[in-house]
Amino acid sequence: MQDTNIAPTVTTEFEKEVYSGLTDYPKHLSSKYIYDKKGDKLFQDIMAMPTYYLTNCEYEILEQNKHEITALFSGSGTFDLIELGAGDGKKTKILLKEFSDKKIDFTYVPIDISNNALNQLHDSCKIELPEVNVQPFQGTYFEALKEINTRKNRKVILFLGSNIGNLMHDQAVGFMEKIQQLMQPNDLLLMGFDQKKNPQTILDAYNDQEGITAAFNKNILARINSELEGNFDLEQFLHWEVYDPETGTAKSFLVSKIEQTVRIESLDLTVHFKQWETIHTEISQKYDDQIIDWLAKESGLQLTTAFQSKTHSYKNCVFKIA
């Protein structure tokens, strides 16, 4: 079932993962490669959509609980606020402003795969929050974990937006376990978890009628075209979202509308698609309290505090080493 191509010499992770994913069966591509300057802007547009409830839920939690969160984070003195997948930092700025106003001694370390997003965040913080010491770090979460271990201050690690949901449960345990191994007894981890809810609410969040999410999902094909000399016809691929309420797993796909052949010159790769064949691009896991407790236990963490939104069942959970 695999395409019969002789693997060329590839150098970047993007090239390696595109080659591997499009010659595998079923086909898949990593959602992290959706993000470039255009992808960053599209995701900001998605977060502003009324159907994309996750942003507003987390914004509400941080705004309404900022005093308690400040006391919790600053209780043991100086700390580094290390944010994995910082993006535009819109929600985090609620805390940054509160910390700054209260003269809390901290350093903000935003980490993101997108250098463009980090540059925008750094520039906006200079204007909006000039008193905050911002030290950006560009890289993947797992590269960032190594960086975390080199810092001397007490660590408060943020992982917002229910980004943990982009990992299957076994991967999430491994990810949280790696964080736990780099934490000291006084360190804290605050993580967002989107909870199970009406399946239609979840489907609407990832399949807006305006087509912004579809354009975002297809941006990975646009990147292959521009960076790897591909010739994907984006109009011949359909964005499709499914949700399994039993497992809590939402999945995004790109579906080939027609039988077609795509050429990626820099990889010397020809990819054949049958009509209605899929490329799996992203998962977004939804949780209940039992699963959150299980993830913590399996990764050597202990849930200490949880903040919940008034609507849409979203939680920000605080963990320490068990």
CATH number at residue 145: 3.40.50.150
Cα angle value 187/188/194 (rounded, 5°): 160
Same domain, 155 and 93: yes
Q: Does residue 1 belong to any structural domain of this protein? A: no
> What's the predicted TM-score (pTM) here?
0.89
pLDDT digits (tens, 9 = 90+) for 81-135: 999 989 889 999 999 999 999 999 999 999 988 888 899 999 999 999 999 999 9
What distance, in Å, lies between the first and last C-alpha atoms of the chain? 46
What span, in angstroms and rounded, lies between the C-alpha atoms of 310 and 319? 21
Average model confidence (pLDDT) across the chain: 93
Q: Are 201 and 53 in contact (CB under 8 A)?
A: yes
Same domain, 112 and 126: yes
Could you tell me the two tokens for 243? 């949700």
Number of compact structural domains in the chain: 2
Could you tell me the residue range of the domain that residue 80 belongs to?
A: 65-195+287-321
What span, in angstroms and rounded, lies between the C-alpha atoms of 189 and 208? 32
Query: β-strand 260-264 against 79-84: which pairing, if any?
Result: unpaired
pLDDT of residue 8: 62
Same domain, 180 and 296: yes
pLDDT of residue 1: 47
pLDDT of residue 322: 94
What span, in angstroms and rounded, lies between the C-alpha atoms of 10 and 193? 36
Same domain, 29 and 99: no
Q: Does residue 250 belong to any structural domain of this protein? A: yes
Same domain, 26 and 92: no
Same domain, 164 and 84: yes
Same domain, 291 and 226: no
Question: Per-residue pLDDT for 285 more than 70?
Answer: yes
Query: β-strand 154-159 against 106-112: which pairing, if any?
Result: unpaired
Same domain, 82 and 154: yes
